[in-house]
Amino acid sequence: MSELFELLIGEGIEEEEEEFGWQERALCAQTDPESFFPEKGGSTREAKKVCLACEVRSECLEYALANDERFGIWGGLSERERRRLKKSAV
């Protein structure tokens, strides 16, 4: 029974690492997080510049859309831009 439990737990951890492993490779994890959550009316230019060079940009955007992230720059898009994208996809 113990081995089965450990096997199931191990599979769950692997699935979670696979699902969220992209976050470890994200360039934003290596930069100032405040630039990705600017105050209302603040510039998003620097955050979007980082996103353009990020290898996991599409995974990030997919995560934000799937989880209805309402704040910050995700996958190179602001909340308003993500909302527009969702509306155009419907």
Asked whether residue 28 is marked as a ligand-binding residue, the answer is yes
| Nearest to 64, CA basis, from 87, 86, 46, 89 | 86
CA angle centred on 43, ends 79 and 20, rounded to 5°: 45
Asked whether residue 82 is marked as a ligand-binding residue, the answer is no
Asked whether residue 8 is marked as a ligand-binding residue, the answer is no
- Concatenated DSSP letters of 45-90: HHHHHHHHT-TTHHHHHHHHHHTT--SS-BTTB-HHHHHHHHHHH-
Asked whether residue 89 is marked as a ligand-binding residue, the answer is no
Residue numbers belonging to the annotated binding site for [4Fe-4S] cluster: 28, 51, 54, 60
Residue numbers belonging to the annotated binding site: 28, 51, 54, 60
